[in-house]
Structure 1
Amino acid sequence: MSDLLANVFGTAAAACSIVSFAPQMIKIWKERDASSVSLKTYSLTVTCFVLWVAYGVLSGAWPIIVANASALVMASGVLVMKWRFRDGDPAKG
Structure 2
Amino acid sequence: MGLKNEFAAELAEARLAEWQRANYGDWRAMLDDKEVRTVVGADGTRYCMVSYALDDGDGRIRMSVAVDHGTWSAFVPLVRDEIMNPDGTFVE
Same fold (TM over 0.5): no
TM-score, structure 2 as length reference? 0.34
Larger C-alpha radius of gyration, 1 or 2?
1
TM-score, structure 1 as length reference? 0.34
Question: Of Structure 1 and Structure 2, which has the larger fraction of its residues in helix?
Answer: 1
| Greater relative contact order (Cα < 8 A, sep 6+) | 1
